[in-house]
């Protein structure tokens, strides 16, 4: 990148960027559903960050035993009721947020780190490189992701780390597809030709011209995938291949809770609602981002 | 006469299609351009004029032919060998809205050639870019703006500044004003004329607008289906066009005044470049077609100044 | 003569991030049945928005009518219900646009799309819908009317198989399905090559004459306007600055902007004539200049121009919006 260039004053250089950000904020704020998504995602992040201070019984998350209190319905003392060990469900749901955030970020991070470079290379260089990368991607995409992940975890052995590894393996091809299409379109843009006309190397073109113009769809997909990855990790937990009780994880909680349905409904409902809300929040947020980052909806 | 700055001989660009056929986008083009001269390359969409521009700049490799720039054949060169030569030839694109990276400031775009070619050090870059902006008539305050904050004419000036950054000898102008309003077009044309006079640049001016070409070019070459069909001094070409296609193009121009119903001088569409007719490629649409035309392909012939590829001329 | 289209005091704005853009500022325009009117102006002058307003195709919001209105054949366009609107579009007003590919669905054949349009028009007009076979025959007839060779086979082809000129002819044929009275053509030949442009313009002119259509042609190209229109309306920054017969407007323009525009066009027939630029650039419609919107660029501007908006008034056999119109030499 052009790091050797001199820098004018920060305010001067960034006046235009600041205007752009204000525009983003303005158009985002005009959509109620995007704002709802933003609120949910913010709440999720806050709960993940401050979970130990929010949870009234943080020790319950570790799987303490308090059998006198088992399976109590929601009350002022235990907002979400208690589970079969007498642990406070509210505390466990809150503390599981951090697990979900970590799982989501890792899966999306690894998928992006693998998929984006491959997609850019495939789209920009074309030819044999593209053929090889895209065929491998197609193979992965042609198998249902969760089924493949289940098979991988089954081979690696259950556990949250193996679950993340398995989901990352099935997640990256989506990024290749997305970025390849974008890079393919950008490759023929006049500004890329102009860069080649002044003798810019492929590496420079990729870093300066292609990648920065791919970021919008990547950000949109990543924010939607956060929700989906959390859901997928919870699914693995539910079938007993992800996080293991008593570690606090929504999917694993529901997995245990299903045997207590319907009489002790709160045990399954609250973790389920947490998953639902999180996935909904990231989806609405991603939709909102797509609306403002899509160049067609930019002012023009 | 001195040797031309740019001499193109037998230039072709063919693209392989499925089924063993090939699309002949450019099919044996000869042209030459002297230092300080302005050559117009006109024709309708799909005639290959933009492909010629990209070949001349070696943005794409030719299928055949030679491209002598400053006496050296650059057709077979690889990218590493071309890099130093790129200082001498630059391009300005038709659509200024897509010719600037939307994520980079004006400064970053105009400085890019200097950075890539390693010409200016960090300290002098900003001064040089400011000078370039002044050269194209933009104030220093534009340095940190993004393309979407500029009008079409301003963007095109930024593109010209970028093309001038390396002080080239040849500027390829690919429809530089066709995306602009007429009042802005006049500004840019004036400016380009003035620039050529001051810097002694050679222009390869690609356009479909004959009136614009007449105003800014010394010579004109008319392309049809990948081949030059007529070439000559601008005044002679417009006063006495000899190829029927050139005549049809000129007749199709609508003057800015009440002119009544336009005569449609040519019937039908331009044939596909994957399916070029035998003989003279213009014959199927030609009002002067003779028997010979569908058999023999006419070559560019005539006096050195004004040449035409037509059996009827 | 009957007024087919009456636009009175029409003011339209778009609300956006940076505020309210006043894109049309008091448009007064009456078009008689059978006229051929050209609307010419540069980017941002509002000519396309005006054209779309006629068939109520402007999205609201972000668009917002601030005043005035549009009547088509005596009916208020903005008061129409969905049924009346469906009748208006197609049966009353037909539109063709710059880029025909955008208005054709790439996954359906030409015939399938035309049959749908024909049957939709039947319904909008309250007639019994024709059978598919009858609609297909009507489609073939329309394709013949726009001089497309071999209409029967063309019906089975897909948009991407046609050239730009052929696609535009297909769209013109589709525009004719509802037997409209007003044809609004928004830059119909801008995307076409000059030799094809001549063919399409000729076709439009012939259809207008043969079917007694009223034509509203929107273009930035004075040559296209001069070829097809008997009357020319010049727009600048959301206002009409001059409205005259083609001969008057091209021969003796009274508005400084019209004069500037004519001088800026390179003319192949006058090689000695060097195109002159209009200094400055088009105003920001979020905060348009007070008074005359052209005054910051006008060579004849006086103090009054910056304060008082000039109204369209009759001068020397045309309408012109300039305080100094009388002084502009003919």
pLDDT of residue A8: 57
> Which of A190, A201, A211, A218 is best to mutate for the B interface (most B CBs within 10 A)?
A190
Residue B302 lies in a domain: yes
Q: Is it true that the peptide bond before A246 is cis, omega within 30 degrees of 0? A: yes
Is there a contact between B145 and A199 if contact means CB atoms under 8 Å apart? no
Predicted confidence (pLDDT) per residue in C65-101, tens digit: 999 999 999 899 999 888 888 888 878 999 998 888 8
Q: Verify whether the Cβ–Cβ distance B182 to C220 is below 8 Å.
A: yes
Residues 6+ apart with CB under 8 A from A147: none
CB pairs < 8 Å spanning B and C: 133
Q: Which residues of A touch B103 (CB under 8 A)?
A: 212-213
Domain that holds residue B225: 6-308
Can you tell me the distance from the alpha carbon of B267 to that of B255, in angstroms, rounded to the nearest whole number? 21
- What total number of domains does chain B contain? 1
pLDDT of residue C329: 66
Answer yes or no: is pLDDT of C330 > 60. no
* Confidence category of residue A4, pLDDT binned at 50, 70, 90: very low
Question: What pLDDT score was predicted for residue B264?
Answer: 66
**Whether B111 and A190 lie within 8 Å, measured CB to CB:** no
Q: How far is CA A39 from CA A35, A42, A182, A228, A273, in A?
A: 6, 5, 30, 18, 16
The reply to whether C18 touches chain A by the CB within 8 Å rule is yes
Say yes or no to pLDDT of A279 above 80. yes
Task: Note the pLDDT tens digit of each residue in A165-217.
Answer: 999 999 999 999 999 999 999 998 999 999 999 999 999 999 999 999 998 88
User: Other C-beta atoms within 10 Å of A86: how many?
Assistant: 17
Listed range (C133-142, C262-271, C313-322) with the worst mean pLDDT: C262-271
- Angle CA(C320)–CA(C324)–CA(C325) in degrees, nearest 5? 35
Mutate which of B144, B158, B162 to test chain A, going by most A C-beta atoms within 10 A?
Answer: B144
Neighbouring chains to C with at least 3 Cβ pairs closer than 8 Å: A, B
Min Cα separation B156/chain C (Å): 14
CA distances from A107 to A164, A231, C159 (A): 6, 12, 43
Chain A residue at shortest CA distance from B83: A199
Which two tokens mark B236?
């002679």
pLDDT class of A9 with cuts at 50, 70, 90: low
Return the residue of C nearest to A30 by Cα.
C17
In this predicted model, what pLDDT tens digit does every residue of A128-149 receive, in sequence order? 999 999 999 999 888 888 888 9
What is the average pLDDT across C3-19? 90
H helices present in chain C, as ranges: 47-54, 82-87, 110-124, 132-145, 151-154, 164-175, 194-211, 222-228, 246-251, 256-264
Query: Mean pLDDT over all residues of chain C?
Result: 90
Give B39's strand partners.
B204, B219
pLDDT band of residue A294 (cuts 50, 70, 90) is low
* Contact by Cβ (8 Å): A191, A64: no
Q: Any CB–CB contact under 8 A between B289 and chain A?
A: no
- Is B313 within the bounds of a domain? no
* pLDDT one digit per residue (tens) for chain B, 313 residues: 578 999 999 999 999 888 888 889 999 999 999 999 999 999 988 889 999 999 999 999 999 999 999 989 999 999 899 999 999 999 999 888 899 998 898 999 999 999 999 887 777 888 899 999 998 889 888 888 889 888 888 999 999 999 999 999 999 999 988 888 888 888 889 889 999 999 999 999 999 889 999 989 999 999 999 999 999 999 999 999 999 999 988 888 888 888 877 676 787 778 888 888 888 989 888 888 888 888 888 988 887 789 999 998 7
- State mean pLDDT over A211-232: 91
Q: Is A31 on the interface with C (CB under 8 A)?
A: no
> What is chain A's mean pLDDT, rounded?
86
B264/C195 CB distance under 8 A:
yes
The answer to whether residue C296 scores a pLDDT higher than 60 is yes
Cα pseudo-dihedral A260, A261, A263, A269, rounded to 10? 100
Contacts of B87 in chain A (CB under 8 A): 199
Q: How far is C16 from chain A (nearest CA, A)?
A: 8
pLDDT for position B273 = 81
Tokens, residue A272: 């389920």
- The Cα of C220 is separated from the nearest Cα of chain A by a number of Å equal to 19
Q: Which token pair is B288?
A: 């002067």
Q: What confidence tier does C35 reach under pLDDT thresholds 50, 70, 90? A: very high
Q: Are C94 and C180 in contact (CB under 8 A)?
A: yes
Three-class DSSP labels, C78-107 = HHCCHHHHHHHHHHHEEEECCCHHHHCCCC
The percentage of chain A sitting over the pLDDT mark of 90, rounded to a whole number, equals 45
Contacts of B262 in chain C (CB under 8 A): 197-198, 201-202, 227
Q: What confidence tier does A3 reach under pLDDT thresholds 50, 70, 90?
A: very low
Contact C151, C143 (CB under 8 A): yes
Q: What is the CATH number of the domain that holds B249?
A: 3.40.50.300
B87 is a domain residue: yes
Is residue B64 within 8 A of residue B10, CB to CB? The reply is yes
| pLDDT confidence of residue B88 | 93
Higher confidence at residue B264 or residue A230?
A230
- How large is the average pLDDT for residues C20-41? 93
Is B207 part of a structural domain of the chain? yes
Q: How far apart are CA C118 and CA C95, in angstroms?
A: 15
Beta strands in A147-256 (DSSP E): none
Q: Kindly state whether residue B1 falls inside one of the protein's structural domains.
A: no
Q: Which two tokens stand for residue A14?
A: 């960034």
Size of interface A-C (CB pairs under 8 A): 6
Q: pLDDT tens digit string along B240-258?
A: 999 999 998 888 888 888 8
Model confidence band, residue C182 (pLDDT cutoffs 50, 70, 90): very high
| CA–CA min distance A299, chain B (Å) | 9
**Residue partners of A265: CB distance under 8 A and separation at least 6:** none
Query: Is B26 part of a structural domain of the chain?
Result: yes
8 A C-beta contact, residue A160 and residue A245:
no
Q: What percent of chain C has pLDDT over 90?
A: 58
Per CB-CB distance under 8 Å, the chain A contacts of C18 are 299
Chain B contact probe: residue of A1, A6, A22 with most B CBs at under 10 A? A6
**In chain C, what residues touch B186 (CB-CB under 8 Å)?**
264, 266, 275-278
Distance CA A221, CA A217 (A): 6
Q: Considering only CB atoms, which residues of chain A are within 8 Å of chain B?
A: 2, 4-6, 8, 12-17, 19-20, 189-191, 193-201, 204, 208-209, 212-213, 295, 298-300
Lowest-confidence region among A112-126, B248-262, C12-26, C33-47: B248-262
Whether C132 has a pLDDT exceeding 70, the answer reads yes
Residue C21 in this model has a pLDDT that exceeds 50? yes
């Amino acid at each position: 990148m052009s790091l050797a260039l001199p820098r004018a004053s920060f305010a001067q250089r960034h006046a235009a960027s600041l205007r752009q950000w204000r525009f983003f904020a303005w158009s985002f704020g005009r959509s109620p559903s995007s704002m709802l998504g933003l609120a949910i995602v913010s709440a999720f992040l806050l709960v993940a960050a401050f979970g130990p201070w929010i949870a009234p019984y943080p020790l319950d998350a570790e799987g303490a035993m308090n059998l006198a209190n088992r399976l109590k319905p929601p009350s002022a003392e235990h907002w979400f009721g208690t589970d079969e060990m007498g642990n406070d469900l509210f505390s466990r749901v809150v503390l599981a947020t951090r697990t979900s955030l970590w799982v989501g970020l890792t899966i999306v991070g690894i998928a992006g780190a693998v998929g984006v470079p491959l997609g850019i290379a495939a789209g920009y260089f074309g030819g044999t490189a593209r053929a090889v990368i895209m065929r491998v991607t197609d193979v992965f995409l042609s198998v249902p992701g969760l089924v493949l992940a289940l098979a991988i975890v089954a081979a690696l052995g259950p556990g949250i780390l193996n679950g993340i590894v398995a989901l990352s393996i099935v997640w990256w091809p989506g990024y290749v597809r997305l970025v390849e299409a974008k890079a393919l379109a950008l490759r023929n843009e006049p500004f890329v030709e102009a860069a080649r006309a002044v003798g810019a190397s492929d590496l420079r073109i990729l870093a300066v011209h292609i990648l920065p113009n791919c970021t919008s769809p990547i950000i949109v997909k990543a924010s939607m995938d956060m929700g989906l990855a959390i859901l997928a990790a919870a699914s693995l937990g539910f079938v007993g291949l992800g996080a293991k009780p008593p570690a606090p994880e929504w999917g694993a909680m529901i997995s245990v809770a299903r045997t207590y349905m319907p009489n002790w409904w709160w045990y399954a409902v609250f973790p389920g609602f947490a998953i639902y809300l999180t996935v909904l929040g990231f989806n609405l947020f991603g939709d909102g981002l797509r609306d403002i980052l899509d160049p067609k909806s930019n002012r023009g | 006469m001195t040797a031309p700055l740019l001499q193109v001989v037998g230039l072709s660009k063919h693209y392989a299609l499925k089924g063993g056929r090939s699309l002949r986008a450019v099919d044996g083009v000869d042209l030459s351009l002297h230092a300080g001269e302005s050559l117009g390359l006109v024709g309708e969409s799909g005639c290959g004029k933009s492909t010629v521009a990209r070949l001349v700049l070696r943005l794409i490799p030719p299928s055949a032919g030679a491209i002598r720039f400053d006496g050296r054949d650059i057709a077979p060169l690889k990218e590493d060998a071309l890099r130093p030569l790129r200082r001498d030839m630059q391009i300005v694109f038709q659509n200024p809205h897509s010719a600037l990276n939307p994520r980079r400031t004006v400064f970053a775009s105009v400085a890019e050639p200097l950075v890539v070619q390693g010409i200016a050090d960090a300290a002098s870059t900003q001064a040089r870019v400011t000078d370039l902006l002044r050269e194209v008539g933009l104030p220093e305050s534009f340095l940190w703006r993004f393309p979407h904050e500029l009008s079409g004419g301003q963007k095109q000036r930024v593109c010209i500044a970028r093309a001038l950054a390396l002080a080239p000898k040849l500027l390829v102008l690919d429809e530089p004003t066709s995306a602009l309003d007429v009042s802005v077009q006049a500004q840019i044309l004036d400016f380009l004329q003035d620039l050529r006079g001051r810097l002694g640049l050679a222009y390869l001016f690609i356009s479909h607008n004959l009136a614009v070409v007449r105003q800014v070019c010394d010579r004109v070459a008319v392309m049809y289906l990948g081949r030059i069909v007529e070439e000559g001094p601008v005044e002679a070409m417009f006063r006495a066009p000899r190829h029927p296609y050139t005549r049809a193009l000129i007749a199709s121009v609508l003057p800015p005044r009440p002119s009544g119903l336009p005569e449609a001088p040519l019937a039908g569409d331009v044939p596909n470049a994957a399916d070029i007719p035998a003989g003279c490629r213009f014959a199927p649409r030609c009002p002067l077609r003779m028997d010979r035309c569908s058999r023999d392909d006419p070559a560019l012939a005539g006096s050195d100044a004004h040449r035409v590829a037509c059996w009827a001329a | 003569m009957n007024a087919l289209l009456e636009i009175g005091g029409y003011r339209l704005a778009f609300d956006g991030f940076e505020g309210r853009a006043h894109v049309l500022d008091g448009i007064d325009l009456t078009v008689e049945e059978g006229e051929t009117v050209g609307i010419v102006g540069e980017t941002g002058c509002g000519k396309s928005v005006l054209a779309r307003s006629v068939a109520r195709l402007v999205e609201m919001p972000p668009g917002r009518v601030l005043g005035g209105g549009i009547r088509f054949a005596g009916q208020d366009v903005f008061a129409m219900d969905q049924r009346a609107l469906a009748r208006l579009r197609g049966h009353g007003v037909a539109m063709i646009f710059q880029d025909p590919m955008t208005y054709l669905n790439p996954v359906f054949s030409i015939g399938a799309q035309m049959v749908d349009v024909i049957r939709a028009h039947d319904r909008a007009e309250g007639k019994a819908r024709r059978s598919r076979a009858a609609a297909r025959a009507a489609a073939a007839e329309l394709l013949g009317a726009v001089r497309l060779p071999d209409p029967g086979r063309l019906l089975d082809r897909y948009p991407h198989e046609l050239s730009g000129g052929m696609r535009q002819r297909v769209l013109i044929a589709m525009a004719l399905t509802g037997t409209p009275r007003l044809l609004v053509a928004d830059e119909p030949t801008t995307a076409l090559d000059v030799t094809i442009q001549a063919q399409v313009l000729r076709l439009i002119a012939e259809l207008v004459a043969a079917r007694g259509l009223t034509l509203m042609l929107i273009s930035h190209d004075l040559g296209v306007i001069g070829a097809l229109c008997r009357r020319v309306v010049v727009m600048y920054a959301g206002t009409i600055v001059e409205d005259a017969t083609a001969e008057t407007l091209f021969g003796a323009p009274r508005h400084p902007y019209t004069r500037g525009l004519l001088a800026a066009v390179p003319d192949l027939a006058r090689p000695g004539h060097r195109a002159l630029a209009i200094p400055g650039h088009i105003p920001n419609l979020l905060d348009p200049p007070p008074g005359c919107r052209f005054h910051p660029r006008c060579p004849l501007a006086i103090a009054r121009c910056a304060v008082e908006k000039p109204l369209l008034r009759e001068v020397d056999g045309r309408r012109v919006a300039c305080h100094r119109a009388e002084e502009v030499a003919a």
